[in-house]
Structure 1
Amino acid sequence: MAAWEEVSVAKNEKRRELVLQGKTISERIDKKGLDTNIFKLTTLNYLEISGTTLSSLESGVGELTSLTSLLLCNNKLTSLPADIGKLVKLKILNLSNNHLENIPPEISTLSELDTLNVSMNRLTEIPSVEKLKCLHVFNAANNKLTSLPEGLFDSELVHLSQILASDNEITDLAPEVSDLPHLNVLDLSNNKLTVVSTSLSICPKLKDLNLKGNKLKDRRFGKMVEQCQTKACLEYLHNQWKKENQKAGKGAKDNEKKKKKKGKKNEETEDVEKDSISVKSYPKDDTGVEIKVLPAVSSVRPYIVCCVIRNLDLSSKFKEFITLQTKLHDTVCQKRQAATIATHDLKNVKLPLTYNAMYPQLLKIVPLFKHKEVSGEKLVEDLRKEAEELRKEKKRNTFSGIHKYLDLLADKTQYPCLVDKEAIVISFPPITNSDKTKICMETTDILVEVTSSTSLDTCKKIMDELLYKMLAAGIASKTIPKAAGATAKGGDSESEDSDEGVVFQNLRLTSAIKTLIVEQVKVVDSEDTLKVLYPSRTDLSSDLIEVVRE
């Protein structure tokens, strides 16, 4: 079999990196299979085969002993060869979004592995990771796991900082989780946990905990979890942990050194006034924000949920808001594979909007922080070149920034986009927004969109999460504080306009309470049939915030 052109070039030029992706590669694979000459490129340290129809990998991959990065994401792999265990220099292994039902046990020998991503597969178990002493990131989200792999909580995994295992069937979280000295992010949302070990509270570096979507027996703790308030959850668990140790006579005071000082706190959270979200109903005269979804996007990225957040004061919280979106993209959005969040300055959006899919050469957009309009085809092409140059310049084996999302478009013949009344593309998920609608510190009203190729429910959950996190970060709507105790929960109160912002009479406001004013956005299909109205009465179902609906 004659070598593919890309493989021949890599061999002749003694390249250390090879990237194969997209429709053309898929056609070759369907016709004659993967070019096995790839496995003769023994000097490669970076190999990516993504966004193709590749369903199996030859055992020859074990010959690529110089590999430090192997990316086989967004394919149709059903199995892996055992000789993958020969890649002893491997630092990054990305097998996400395939059809894998098992992982060969030989993966346990990859002692240099820094990042293991097996998310969005069909795995029921994962081999022991006890020997992966260099592991920083473990991502097994969206599988069928009933338990986390053996050795994951070994105290010798001193570098492990992220465990992402949401959307599985995990029933137990071992108390040994506290043995991980640098665990920073733990996401076990949407599993089957009923109890959580209180030792979780003595993880010294844990900053981001997500247990949402589990049916926890402790109802009070469950309410905190649904709000995703990491600090409150850990404080609650720590109080329980202290009581347990006191009962067992273990001297809880000595162990307090493991817990950072958190200052004074109010343990009776139910007595504290709640932050609130005021939901403004979609107007009966249809003058609200409406998005029409066209059929072309249904096979590309079909799901979209939007809302408008009114009267924000971003002057002192702008950086926090941007950082919050980035963090959500890396966690609950699963590096944008599950969903993408976009925000627009509403005053620069020409309504109504259309959610569509266009051929890359026809899609025109002014990318964020740019001034010149380019086609989707040119933008993606330029980003790929830029990514390669940056990677070589910085001597890295992975993409960073926006470049790491390019593989999500690898197999797409059309690109999703949100288009305004004047046929201007304001959003090109999952890559970029238009510079024409970007938000700034002076922005007061924003349109938020969440798009996904996974499910509508995923969009809603991530939108919920964004609103919760905004409140927790102190990013709220400007309001005029009322006297403490001024309450009116009836639905007949009229809103008032003032120079300081919108004040809703049906809100109980004090200077300490934060409020978000959220306006419903309607999404319809091409025949004007309602697809989704967010937030509906079933959304934002948290007992830790007060949701006031018009």
Structure 2
Amino acid sequence: MANTWPEVQQAASEKRRELTLHGQDISQRIKESGFDECLFDLTLLNFLDISKTCLSDVGSGIGRLTNLTDLVLHNNSLTSVPKEITNLTLLKLLDVSNNQITSFPGDISTLTNLQTLNVSMNKLSEFPAVGSLGALHIFNFSHNQLDGLPEGVFSSSLVHLSKVVGNDNAISEISADVVDLPHLNTFDLSNNKLLEVPSEMSECAKLKELNLKGNKFKDRRFGKMVDQCGTKSVLDYLATQLKKEREQAGKKGKGKKKKSGKKEPTEVEDIIKNMINVLHFAGAAESGCTIQLKPAVLSVRQYIVCCIVRELDFQQSVNMFKNFITLQTKLHDGVCQKRQAATIATHDLKSVKRPLTYEAMFPHELKIVPLFKKKEVTGEKLVADLRKEAEDYRREKKRNTLSGIHQYLDLLKDKVQYPCLLDGDGEVISFPPITNSEKTKISKETTELFIEVTSSTSLDVCKKAMDELLLKMLEMGCGSSKGDEASAGPDSSPQRLVVEQVRVLDFDTTMKVVYPSRTDLPFDSVDVIRSYDD
């Protein structure tokens, strides 16, 4: 260890968790004899700061420091970030700002604990997708050469993202999906190449700091307001524009109705005209969907109802898909009693291989690729990791209140086996009440849904939750408009939801329940069309 730097020697002998190296002395050593790679043997490190040096290559050895939670490499001469950085799955902070970086690893989806990512003041012309970084709070990519926002930056999975800083790039467009960030507080895209911004930005409920200066907007009045007024005034202006756009769309719809000679209906009459068309269970094995119950699940979470919803269109409006996800959250908090009574899960039907099996498995045997993840884990590891995350959160925030998936862990307490839904290949696509599988994840492009509701309480509560979900979907207009008025849009034309029955079979293959049956969907305000006898 003759050539080992004294700071590295000391950190090794004292088994330190933190190491800071910066300044002229460190820079001189790097110039004369290169970087001390013995540093990569300090696998106990949680915090590493190498800054303000001439370091041009951190090396692949960085991937061995798998206990790092904070990595600071700002103000150096780095030209790239090694792909081994993706091994650092515990990272919460990564700061590589003020370097000469032109390339970044193409897949950073393993950095699921990352809360702060700072790549500002570099020479990046592209950046990998960030939609899988579900823990991200702060993302700074300012002063680069990006001509577009990083893919996934407005993903609805980034539920914690509150600060996005991308000033001084060449970005020319902002997607209306910006409204999918529920906690966005600060958004800076000043000094870019924007010509307009989506008026839907006014619906970002928590946005307090918006900086769009230095862009050449086509709407000169808006540009002047951006330069001279504060965030509230800018958002108020966008809100007014959004209202005008929606009113104009409404007028167009009404005009089409008048041409057909129809009387403009009242709001109550519109609701009455809405229709749920129930398709009878298709008896043919290749088309009808069945769920086979297994005996083991009866003592764990025995109640399940399912159905298929067809002819969906989540792209009829900018916020429809986001509103559908929000709807599920509201139902979980309301009719499902925070998942204590029931749990709703939705799957993209095209990814669901049939027939399905409702089973209970030992935690170490259950294997699933959780939603927004890429690696398969056992139920045992998933629950253990979530419990550790919950405990770390309690300590960090010094409070017992949990949010998201963590608040449902107690529902599995003392369970010897975990409930799960398996597809025709034997793969777990649902692990209620915790998560779905990434394999069947829904998106804006989904046109057919497979929906399951499970409970350990009663079959009635499953049906009640499913009834409510279908009614709200109908009212949202995510189905299809019926009749010749379809072109008038979901706000002005009666809506139709196409629901297909799914049968649940007992373990001896006798039918246990079919949904929706003749007694389900008991709505006076909706025309439920059933052309069959149960």
Task: Give TM class, smaller chain.
Answer: 0.3 to 0.5
Larger Rg: 2
